[in-house]
Each structure stands twice: as structure tokens, then as C-alpha cells.
Chain A
Amino acid sequence: MNNPASAVSSAAAQPGESRFLNSLTPARLRRTFRLAIKSLWLHRLRSLLTVLGIVFGVCSVIAMLAIGEGASFEAQEQIKNLGSQNVILRSIKPPEEQKVTEKASQSYVLQYGLTYTDAKSIRSTIPGVSVLVPSRIMRDYVWNISRRVDCDIVGTVPWYPEMRNHHVARGRFFTDADMEASRSVCVLGAGVAQALFPFDSPLGRDVRVGGDYYRIIGVMEARGKGLSTSQTEAGPKATAHEMFIPLETAKARYGEVLIKMRSGSFEAERVQLHEITVKVASRDQVLPVAEAVKAVLKHHHKKQDYEVVVPLELLKRAERTKQIFNIVLGSIAAISLLVGGIGIMNIMLATVTERTREIGIRRALGAKRRDIITQFLVEAVMLSGAGGLFGVALGITIPLLVTWFAAMKTIITFWSPLLAFSISALVGVVFGLYPALRAANMDPVEALRHE
């Protein structure tokens, strides 16, 4: 024992090494956790208030993400209803002042919009275009005896359903034969069918439009309010009710001049086609085809009396909007978690100062620096983790409430609570580290003397 040199390391190193391994055992960690709970419980109100910052941060992230996700999902659904491989052309009324000059030229009939020639030239000049659905849309009342619905009467072609991803629920759509013979048959939109025949099946019954009767052969499936008609002129009401008749029938019944007489106003328009849907063979051809279509139309039209809607473009735009939304959300989340983290750091620094004496005692009784670090770090992580947990619970509840009360679609992606929780735990580590290091680096002698 009087041989110091050999003794220096032997006794210290052996327990030191085994202790390091011991410090990693779950049993020991469990005790550290219990200790942390005890210390936090001692200052319940303080811990609660500290945690709130993280709770609100995490909760707002999850809730806003869920609501945003739901909204963008709905928007994308609507766009997909238009068909992502489609290019949709619509006739629009040219601006008012042009109408005046036009009037002077010859008649009171306003002539504008897409023509059969347009449809033909698109088909003949642009490669990769598979189908065209020309359609006409007229506004009129549809009657079943005394029930009446304000409705878009859509004259279209038999392959409309597959083009627009809008299928028949009951009965059938009209066929080429119906089309060729200009038969007086119709397919009702789900809304119209519900409004006109609330109690029985509409199939096989007749509806009256103006002076003509149409036999109902089918009912379309219901779908969310679409973007199908241009938002500029027709309100959402117009999109809700549709009735489909063969294009040839529409041509025969209505001619090309539409006369609208409603509540005292008189309007006459000549429109050949209200809508043309161009289906493109493959998705990556959509944008070039859209460009080509625009070029063709420009050649034929002097005025801007049509619009080109590219659902794929809308979809991309919606995705980009969502991306921006996510970035904004991410920054808000980061800021709120930063604030929460600073709150935790603040309180941990106060705790460390307050418990300087305890730190001194523990050091005197054999605690190493890393034991002290572990102790305070576990406390900080526990604060932030508890905040994260409450935040996740609250963040999941809020979207459910929103769906319940506001009937808004919300989607909680499975990764958002996970991410929010692990970030909050990480915040605990990051912001707890400095106070913990400060605690560990205290001089034991000074700490013991602290009052």
C-alpha cells in the first residue's frame, strides 16, 4: 500500500468502468425517470406552465396540418374529377364593351364561343388526342308535373361518363343509337333526380323541359361540387344540377340560338358548343397538347371568347400551394417550438440555480458529471416530452372537432404526430443541455456552500 504508483489506477478504473455500463441499464434509467417525475411534481404549476408552450406548438402543428391536408385533398379530388388527362375548353361570353360594337354590325344575337369547326380542327391537326367530347349547356327549368328544378341541360356525346370520370349510378347512359336518332332520352344528375323524384325511382319516367318531354334512362352518381362550369359566370348553384341529353337531340331541340328570358331580361346568344373536352393519351403529353390547342383556337378566334382549363396544371398548382402552405406551417411550428424550448431552458436554469446545493450533495456522494447531466437532461426531456404528448392528443382532437362541427374534411397523416412528438423531445434535449452542463460543471465545494 505504500507503493502509490501502481495503486493510482487500479482501484478507480475498475469500478469506474463497470459503473459506466451500469449507468446505461434500463433499471437505472427508470430510477432516473422516477426522480425526475418527483422533482417536477414538486413544482407542479411551474412544470405545467412550462409545458404549455410545447403543448400549443405541437397541437397547432398537427391540427393545422390535418386541416390543410384535408382541404388540399378535397381540392385535388375536385380537380381529378375533371380528369387529369383532359384539356377542357369552355366558351365564355366576351367582355361587355365588345358586345356593344358587335351589336352595331348586324343583329341582337350575340355570337361567340367554340364551334364545331374548332372541334374538327383540333381532332385533325393535333396528334395524340384521343377523344373529344363536345357539349352544349343550356339553362332551363326541368319539370316533373309540379316539381321544378333550375338545371343545366347538357347536350353531349355517349362517351361523356368515362371521359369525365363521372359514372351512371342507376340505369344507363345514352348510346350512339340514341344519339343518331336524336331520341328524347335523358340522364339526370343525382341532385336533380333527388329533387324531382324524392320518393320513387325516376327510371322510365318523363320530365318536361319547355314544351318537350324526355324519358329518363339513367341517373348519375353523386359527386362533390365540381369545378365543371366556369366559376366566373355561374355560381355554385349551377354546378349542382345537371341533366344530360344526346348532343344531336339538343341540336335539334334548341338550334344554335339560345334565347333566355328571365325575370324581365332578354338575351339572345348563338353558341355552337359550350364545352369541349380533349382527352390526351398519356399524362406527360397533356401540357404540350394544351399549348397546341391554344394555338389552334387562337387561329380561329378573333376574340377571347373561350378558356382553356388544364386540370393537370391545376393539380400541379394545388400541389405547389400545398407545398408553400407546408413551408409556412413548418416555420410557424419551428417558431412555436423554439419559444417553448426557450421556456424550458429558462425554467431549467432556474431549477439548476435553485438546486445548486442538491447538486453539491450529490457530487459529494459520488455523482459524476455525467450523472448530473443525465438527471437534468431527463427532467428537461420529460417536460418537453409530456408537452409533446399532450400536444399530440390535443392536436388530434381539434381536427376531429372541426370535422364534427364544421363538416370540413381533415386528414391526420400518421407521420405528423410522430414527427411533432419526436421534435418536441428533441427540443428538450437541445434546450436542456446547456442548463444540465451548467449544473454538471459546478464546483462541488462551491455548490455545497451555496445557500
Chain B
Amino acid sequence: MAASIVQLRDIRKTYQMGLVKVEALRGVNIDIQAAEYVSIMGPSGCGKSTLLNVLGCLDHPTAGRYFLGDQDVSQLDDDALSSVRGTRLGFIFQSYNLIQQLTVLENIEVPLYYQGRPEAESRAVAREAATRVGLADRLEHRPYQLSGGQQQRVAIARALVNNPLVILADEPTGNLDSASGTDILRLFDDLNCQGKTVLLVTHDPVVARNSSRTIRLRDGLIESDMSNGT
């Protein structure tokens, strides 16, 4: 068996909402191999976002263990989690989440900046990532000067720049028209072909069908986990 990059073991997450306890995740087990392209689907309120937060090391699970690569990240402290996010994960958001006062190139550089890489080196790496998503001629633009599709490409370049183990995408096409959405999905395909592990959260079946494997969540539990035939 190939090495699993992500291993979730009986992950539980409970929120205290006022007086009631809400169980968002009730024992989730997932294994993701390197270079897989997985989508997570489910109706709203099923625990998708919570799962993504845990996967993205933005939140601690209440119980269970989470191995990312060779490391148990389920109980790391804040600084260590930040490190993990900066070095091993790439984030793509529905609303792009670019920093408005920075240029395209500077936005792409941000994860490297927090790793403390020398400026010249990180600049070169960022430029390369921008070229990879087809934005080599937009480096000095500001986010508001770009179309939605272009902004999402910047976000993808930013997610690639630190050469992460897993790229986490949260509804990456949710804010885009279908043409740019298709463009972005093609880009995900390309990345996956180049050996990147992509984990995508969506409620759009068309987007999910693009991936090689679909995990369906319902009420904090995995309802089904199957590979897409085609």
C-alpha cells in the first residue's frame, strides 16, 4: 500500500453553542494517498467546513488523531500548527482571500515570507508559481484589477508556492461563472497530473465528478466513500 498522506482516525469535533452541545463531527476516518484528487460533498450543516478546518490545521479536533505526512498534528500547539500550515498545506478559498494592498507577486509570496525564506529566493519561487497558473504578465497588478478567475489563479499559485503535501480547496468555483470555473477545474486536473494531492470541498456534483474520489458526509459521519469510475 502506498503511503497515506492524510490519515484521520475517529475524528470528533464538538462545539458548545450556548447550553447545547453540537456534534459537528462524530468519528470520521479518512485515508488519502499521495497524488489523489478527492472531493468532499454533503448538504450544508453536515460538517464539511468543520472537517476542512481540522484538515487545514486551523482547528483542533475534540478527539481522534490526525496524521499529516509523518506527523501527528492533532494536538500541536498554536505555533507548531502555524508552521504546519505554512509548510505543508496550501489553501484555496471560495472568495479568493487575497490581501488587497499587496500585488499579485507579493500575495503569492506570503507563505514563503512566514517561512523566513530570503527575499530574492522567494521572489523567484513566487514568479515561477505565477507562471505555472498563467499569470506571468500580471505580477504587479493588484487583486481588484483582476477578474474573479484570475484572482482565483493567484490564490492557487499562492497555495502552490510552498510545495505543500496537500492542497485544500473550499468551493473554489463557487464565486465564478461557469467558463472561469471550468478553467480553474482544468488547472486542478493539471496539478493533480503533476502529482499534487488535492482535497476539494464542494456541494456542486459537477465539480465533484471532476475528481477521482468522492467522500459524502452526512450529520458528521461519512455516508459514502467511493472512487469516480470515469
A residues whose Cβ falls under 8 Å from a Cβ of B: 1, 3-5, 7-8, 10-13, 15-16, 18-19, 22-23, 25, 27-28, 31, 38-39, 42, 357-358, 360-371, 444-445, 448
Contact = CB atoms under 8 A, between A and B. Distances in A.
Contact of B119 (A10, A27, A363, A445): A27
A369 B99 contact: no
B100 to A, nearest CB: 8
Contacts of A371: 82, 114
Given A4-B65, A362-B110, A367-B114, A16 B80 contact: yes
**Which applies to chain B's interface (DSSP): helix, strand, loop or mixed?**
mixed
B79 A15 contact: no
11 contacts: A3-B70, A12-B84, A25-B116, A38-B101, A39-B101, A362-B110, A365-B86, A366-B82, A366-B86, A369-B78, A444-B58
B186 to A, nearest CB: 25
Interface string B86-123: 11000101000111111000000011011110110000
Contacts of B111: 365-366
Contacts of B97: 357, 360-361, 364, 448
A72 B4 CA distance: 81
A364 B164 CA distance: 13
A362 B82 CA distance: 10
A12 B80 contact: yes
B83 A15 contact: yes
Contacts of A369: 78-79, 82
Contacts of B218: none
B165 to A, nearest CB: 11
A366 B114 contact: yes
A293 to B, nearest CB: 76
Most buried by B among A13, A23, A362, A366: A366
Most buried by A among B67, B69, B87, B114: B114
Contacts of A358: 99-100
Contacts of B58: 363-364, 444-445, 448
Contacts of A8: 71-72, 76
B56 A364 contact: yes
B87 A366 contact: yes
A27 B121 CA distance: 13
B85 A365 contact: yes
Given A15-B115, A28-B116, A31-B119, A368 B79 contact: yes
B78 A448 contact: no
Contacts of B3: 1
Contacts of B110: 361-362, 365
A445 B80 contact: no
Nearest to B77: A12
B12 to A, nearest CB: 17
A1 B91 contact: no
A19 B71 contact: no
Given A31-B119, A445-B53, A365 B71 contact: no
Nearest to B97: A361
Given A365-B111, A444-B58, A445-B58, A11 B71 contact: yes
A360 B71 CA distance: 24
Given A10-B71, A363-B58, A364-B58, 12 more contacts: A4-B67, A4-B71, A4-B72, A7-B67, A15-B87, A22-B115, A25-B116, A27-B118, A38-B101, A358-B99, A364-B97, A368-B114
Nearest to B112: A366
B14 to A, nearest CB: 15
Nearest to A440: B78
A323 B99 CA distance: 53
Given A1-B69, A1-B70, A28-B116, A42 B83 contact: no
Contacts of A23: 116
Contact of A448 (B70, B76, B93, B116): B93
B87 A7 contact: no
A11 B3 CA distance: 17
Most buried by A among B3, B56, B82: B82
B23 interface: no
A444 B57 CA distance: 10
Contacts of A4: 65, 67, 71-72
